[in-house]
Structure 1
């Protein structure tokens, strides 16, 4: 089975897209689902965002499966414009509505905060008010207009399965030598 890289252009107008619980359901692309948020950092809070990054990295060392419910491929956090603006970019396997609800449930269950609390306009009641959380994300979402996948439409679970098979084959071949 040959896998050919693909790209999809995402429409600027979303009125014709299927409407989910929280707004338009952006199409699954060769890069799966995802969103990019750009927001202003509360004055003096860039350090707290960086520290939260270290906290998250440490939590993942202790529990590598901590974020598994989110079906993530990648997360990218960027502070820019002299640490006054923040970009959150996530690529994942579920649609926006499910990802958002899963994120709220995950952070609420773990009793942890989110880096977003350091962003201007982020709702203080985000744990109990998913609509406010979603509204913030939608208002700060910068939709991509093209997405490319070297291995299109492959889920994170499929990638992990392929890597396990590769590891098992390598181990088997090593034992034959």
Structure 2
């Protein structure tokens, strides 16, 4: 696989032919790795709680930069829109959907952190003890991609970090030679 040539794939609308995982179809790994987008209604008056939850996660990551490492994330994006009545969650990561969601439930339960999804209409209150309900909610609110592009296709976050460490070490070595 040539990781230096950008690639794009079209993802079929029909999922009947896809391998079935524990919680439904396993979407294929794309040049952008794995990921999903959720769009959901916010419980009335909870938009500020979502913003505050974001700040809580920022502070938690400042204390422990590796807090979210088990999720194998590349990127995570939260968006409030439609006058703070709807929420978009977009994550790009290196594991398939089933593993990511199970890891997320386990991680948040372990560290005693709530999920931002608790502020969304219809999110199950028993999500910590009922991962299936968590996954069902995510699946019901998922908006699958139909095109995904990767400038450096199929490269994991770990591979990117390794390449950056090599680059840094090489730069340091070259600086010392001068």
TM-score (norm 1): 0.99
SS in 1 for 2:28: coil
Match of 1:47 in 2: 48
**Whole-angstrom CA distance in 2 between matches of 1:2 and 1:161:** 15
Change (3 A) 1:2 1:98: closer
Corresponding residue for 2:118?
117
Counterpart for residue 146 of structure 1: 147
Q: How much does 1:103 deviate?
A: 0.3
The offset of 1:3, in angstroms, is 1.1
Within a 5 Å distance, the mapping from 1:11-22 to structure 2 comes to 11-22=12-23
1-structure distance, mates of 2:3, 2:47: 45
- Determine the structure 1 residue equivalent to 2:138: 137
Contact 2:38/2:88, CA 8 A, preserved across alignment: yes
Quick one: distance in 2 between partners of 1:13 and 1:169?
47
2:5, 2:119 → 1: CA distance?
Answer: 41
Partner Cα separation in structure 2 for residue 61 and residue 142 of structure 1: 31
Shift in Å, 1:64: 0.4
Distance in 2, matches of 1:141 and 1:115, equals 16
Following the alignment from structure 1 to structure 2, what is the Cα–Cα distance between the partners of residues 41 and 162? 40
Residue 4 to residue 47, structure 1, CA distance change in 2 (3 Å): same
Deviation, structure 1 residue 2: 6.5
SS in 2 for 1:147: strand
Q: What secondary structure is seen at the aligned counterpart in 2 of 1:26?
A: coil
Q: Cα deviation per residue 1:85-137 (whole Å; 9 max; x = unaligned)?
A: 00000000000000000000000000110100000000000000011000000
- Distance across 2 between alignment mates of 1:41 and 1:70: 24
Aligned-residue RMSD, C-alpha: 0.8
More deviation, 68-77/2-11: 2-11
SS of residue in 2 equivalent to 1:123: coil
Alpha-carbon separation, structure 2, partners of 1:99 and 1:2:
24
Residue matched to 1:93:
94
